[in-house]
């Protein structure tokens, strides 16, 4: 199998038909492909709509989830079921255009492990979608150092070996390029893709997701930089706490001996200093516990080494 | 099929790579050792790896691997080891450190049955600054290797092919590879190699680098002493802190009963804080024990000589 197209669907009964037709029309006949439609516990007629196609066309397959798990798990289910050497993910709401898939594949051939699409002339509401998305992408780019301008676009192409090194959980689908860089050492690039306005149904996203993304940034920072060296993160925080504490204690020593011994206000300074220093000790211990955890999970499960590709093959 | 794969991790401040290749290839050819060279690098070092294309075209046994993201030397080395063809792996630093003329001696040591042979720059003719840094490092970690090793961070090594995959390597622990191998009972030998003529000058790093190294060393010592028994460490610290805290509180109480006012006494606060910190330390130790206990399931803490680390010998009956 050369190509698997993975589409998570949640309550998209009207979209299924046009989607399957669009994918069929977009992919060249010479290509060996499959279309995996992941039903994320829809409560409308999505499964029935998919059933109409799977019977007639063996290339179209249904991956039924037991309940509604959210987009990340739906994508992971599709990736796990996919048999292609290349896997393309896209949204089920017809906003992505399957006609871009051949271009994604061609870019992948130029020596990349992940090609992300970015939406040109995005057809969405400015205030509720575009501006929050712009802020989120800026923040993600700054924190991860992965140069992708549109993390929210689902249309992406992956080599099998990239996905083999990624395990998705929580709301990771927004950070897939960063995760691919951190865990697989993937070579990543992006190309412009078309974007259409929604034809059926309604968006399942709201403005609140921006706050969630900002909280997730902390998680992704951990994954990107400190997954294998938690003691560096906790230790650095501890050193900062020690420094502040030492500052307070110095100030209190000066206050006690130089100004007024026993002055009531002098109590505030040593108290603050002690708190800071003991916080530093606590952080250091947390880092050591994290190190214990890292060591034992690493012994349990031999994770595959990052992707290394021949340059002059 | 080459007998030896020489891996050159090109991750920081590399030398011209053609020089690195020539300096390492010449002694190997002289000793009649068949070797392939695996340079492993990042896409942003392409201007450097480009220079190798001409050598490769001229028939030199050079491969260049690329990892797409700066994952550090440990991860990069593991990736290269997975692709290497040789039965023996050697590593050569991409910057002047230990002189690669010592490679044949290291390889001979592995052929003779060692699991890992690591270079020791000896006699040290480089600058006092380098030697001082090396001395401080070994004051901290030397005892972990029973005092047998004098240059654990030496980048010139030779090892059995499967060694890297069997050690718990993460973060920047590849620097301490000989210590970690000794910890798991592998045969580690140290072989004196010359100092590279271009590394005589002293090297100082940014404070951030030293800070990271400090945490590496702290993590390594903790790994050796307490990873399998975190409660012993945290329990000891916790009870000591709590006792000191308790004693201080007792002292303050006695003084209060003797008539001294309490309100502006930092000592009271110190006592309370020490007691809470002690309780937290013990709690963390308990969490550590849970981690150790859960991860012990289905795994064995020993390794038979000449074999891989053990899983549970028999799976439980269904």
For every one of its 318 residues, what pLDDT tens digit does chain B have, with 9 covering 90 and above? 899 999 999 998 788 999 999 999 999 999 999 999 999 999 999 999 999 999 999 999 999 999 999 999 999 999 999 999 999 999 999 999 999 999 999 999 999 999 999 999 988 888 899 999 999 999 999 999 888 999 999 999 999 999 998 898 999 999 999 999 999 999 999 999 999 998 888 888 899 999 999 999 999 999 999 999 999 999 999 999 999 999 999 999 999 999 888 777 778 889 999 999 999 999 999 999 999 999 888 888 888 888 777 667 776 666
Q: Is the pLDDT of residue A26 over 90?
A: yes
A298–B230 C-beta distance less than 8 A: no
Who contacts A176 (Cβ-Cβ below 8 Å, separation ≥6)?
A: A114, A116, A151, A156, A166, A168
Prediction ipTM score: 0.89
Q: Does B82 touch chain A (CB under 8 A)?
A: yes
Distance in angstroms between the alpha carbons of the first and the last residue of chain A? 23
B79–A306 C-beta distance less than 8 A: yes
Cα nearest neighbour of B172 on chain A: A229
Q: Is the pLDDT of residue A301 over 60?
A: no
Q: Is the pLDDT of residue A262 over 60?
A: no
Query: Strands of A309-310's sheet, edge to edge?
Result: A309-310, B62-66, B35-41, B4-9, B88-91, B157-160, B116-121, B188-193
Could you tell me which residue, A123 or A301, shows the higher pLDDT?
A123
Rounded Cα distance between A154 and A242, Å, is: 44
Q: Are B65 and A289 in contact (CB under 8 A)?
A: no
Cis peptide preceding B123, ω within 30 of 0: yes
Who contacts A274 (Cβ-Cβ below 8 Å, separation ≥6)?
A: A245, A249, B266, B269, B270, B273
A189 beta partners: A115
Question: For residue A302, what pLDDT is reported?
Answer: 65
Chain A nearest CA to B223, separation (Å): 7
Element (H, E) at A3: strand A3-9
Chain B nearest CA to A168, separation (Å): 19
CB interface of A with B, residues 191-230, below 8 Å: 228-229
A121-129 long-range Cβ contacts below 8 angstroms, 24+ apart: A121/A195, A122/A195, A123/A95, A123/A195, A123/A196, A123/A197, A123/A198, A124/A195, A124/A197, A128/A206, A128/A207, A129/A203, A129/A205
Residue in B63, B69, B89, B230 to test binding to A, most A beta-carbons within 10 Å = B69
Question: How confident is the model over A77-118, as pLDDT tens digits?
Answer: 999 999 999 999 999 888 999 999 999 999 999 999 999 999
Using DSSP's 3-state secondary structure scheme, residue A262 falls into coil
B62 beta partners: B37
Nearest to A185 among B69, B233, B309 (CB): B69
Rounded Cα distance between B91 and B96, Å, is: 13
B39 beta partners: B8, B64
Who contacts A139 (Cβ-Cβ below 8 Å, separation ≥6)?
A: A213, A214, A217
A281 neighbourhood in chain B, CB within 8 Å: 277
B248 neighbourhood in chain A, CB within 8 Å: none
Question: For residue A271, what pLDDT is reported?
Answer: 87
Q: How many other C-beta atoms are found inside a 10 Å radius of the C-beta of residue A165?
A: 19
B215–A229 C-beta distance less than 8 A: yes
Residue in B167, B175, B219 to test binding to A, most A beta-carbons within 10 Å = B219
Q: Are B37 and B61 in contact (CB under 8 A)?
A: yes
Chain A nearest CA to B153, separation (Å): 18
Structure tokens at B235: 């329990």
Question: For residue A24, what pLDDT is reported?
Answer: 95
Span A281-310, mean pLDDT? 88
Question: How confident is the model over A130-189, as pLDDT tens digits?
Answer: 887 888 888 888 888 898 988 888 999 999 999 999 999 888 888 899 999 999 999 999
B299–A281 C-beta distance less than 8 A: no
Chain B nearest CA to A161, separation (Å): 13
Q: Does A261 touch chain B (CB under 8 A)?
A: no
Q: Are B102 and B194 in contact (CB under 8 A)?
A: yes
B263–A264 C-beta distance less than 8 A: yes
B281–A229 C-beta distance less than 8 A: no
Question: For residue A204, what pLDDT is reported?
Answer: 57
Nearest to B222 among A181, A185, A291 (CB): A291
Angle (deg, nearest 10), helices A13-26 and A46-56: 30
Q: Is the pLDDT of residue A122 over 80?
A: no
């Amino acid at each position: 199998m050369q190509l698997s197209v993975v589409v998570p669907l949640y309550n998209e009964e009207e979209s299924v038909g046009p989607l399957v037709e669009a994918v069929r029309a977009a992919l060249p006949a010479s290509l060996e492909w499959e279309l995996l439609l992941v039903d994320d516990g829809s409560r409308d007629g999505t499964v029935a709509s998919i059933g109409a196609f799977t019977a007639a066309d063996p290339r179209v397959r249904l991956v039924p989830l037991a309940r509604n798990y959210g987009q990340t798990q739906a994508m992971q289910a599709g990736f796990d079921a996919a048999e292609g050497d290349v896997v393309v993910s896209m949204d089920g709401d017809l906003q992505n255009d399957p006609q871009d898939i051949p271009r994604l594949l061609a870019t992948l051939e130029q020596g990349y492990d992940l090609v992300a699409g970015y939406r040109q002339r995005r057809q969405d509401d400015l205030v509720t979608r575009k501006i929050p998305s712009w802020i989120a992408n800026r923040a993600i780019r700054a924190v991860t150092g992965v140069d992708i301008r549109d993390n929210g676009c689902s249309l992406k192409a992956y080599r099998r070996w990239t996905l083999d090194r990624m395990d998705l959980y929580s709301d990771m689908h927004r950070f897939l390029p960063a995760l691919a860089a951190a865990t697989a050492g993937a070579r990543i690039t992006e190309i412009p893709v078309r974007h259409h306005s929604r034809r059926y149904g309604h968006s399942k996203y709201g403005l609140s997701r921006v706050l969630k993304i900002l909280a997730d940034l902390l998680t992704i920072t951990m994954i990107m930089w400190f997954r294998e060296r938690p003691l560096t993160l906790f230790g650095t925080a501890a050193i900062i706490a020690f420094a502040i504490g030492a500052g307070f204690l110095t100030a209190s020593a000066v206050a006690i001996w130089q100004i007024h011994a026993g002055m009531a206000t002098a109590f505030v300074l040593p108290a603050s200093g002690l708190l800071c220093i003991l916080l530093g000790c606590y952080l250091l211990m947390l880092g050591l516990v994290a190190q214990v955890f890292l060591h034992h999970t690493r012994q349990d499960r031999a994770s595959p080494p990052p992707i290394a590709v021949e340059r002059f093959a | 099929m080459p007998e030896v794969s020489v891996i050159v991790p090109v991750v920081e401040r590399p030398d011209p790579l053609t020089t690195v290749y020539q300096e390492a290839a010449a002694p190997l050819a002289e000793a009649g050792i068949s070797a392939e060279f695996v340079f492993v690098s990042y896409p942003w070092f392409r201007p450097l790896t480009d220079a190798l294309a001409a050598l490769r075209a001229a028939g030199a046994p050079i491969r260049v691997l690329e990892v797409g993201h700066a994952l550090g030397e440990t991860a990069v080395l593991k990736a290269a080891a997975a692709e290497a063809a040789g039965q023996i792996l050697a590593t050569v630093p991409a910057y002047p450190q230990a002189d690669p003329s010592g490679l044949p001696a290291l390889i001979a040591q592995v052929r003779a049955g060692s699991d890992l042979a690591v270079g020791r720059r000896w006699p040290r003719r480089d600058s006092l600054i380098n030697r001082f840094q090396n001395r401080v490092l070994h004051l901290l970690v030397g005892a972990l290797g029973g005092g047998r090793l004098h240059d654990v961070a030496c980048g010139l090594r030779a090892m059995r092919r499967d060694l890297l995959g069997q050690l718990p390597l993460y973060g920047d622990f590849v620097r301490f590879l000989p210590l970690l191998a000794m910890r798991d009972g592998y045969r580690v030998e140290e072989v004196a190699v010359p100092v590279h003529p271009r590394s005589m000058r002293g090297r100082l790093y940014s404070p951030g680098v030293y800070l990271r190294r400090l945490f590496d060393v702290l993590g390594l010592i903790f790994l050796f002493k307490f990873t399998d028994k975190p409660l012993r460490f945290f329990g000891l610290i916790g009870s000591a802190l709590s006792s000191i805290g308790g004693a201080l509180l007792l002292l303050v109480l006695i003084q209060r009963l003797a008539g001294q006012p309490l309100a502006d006494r930092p000592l009271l606060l110190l006592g309370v804080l020490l007691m809470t910190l002690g309780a937290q330390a013990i709690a963390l130790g308990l969490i550590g024990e849970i981690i150790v206990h859960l991860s012990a399931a289905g795994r064995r803490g020993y390794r038979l000589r000449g074999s891989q680390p053990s899983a549970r010998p028999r799976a439980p009956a269904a």
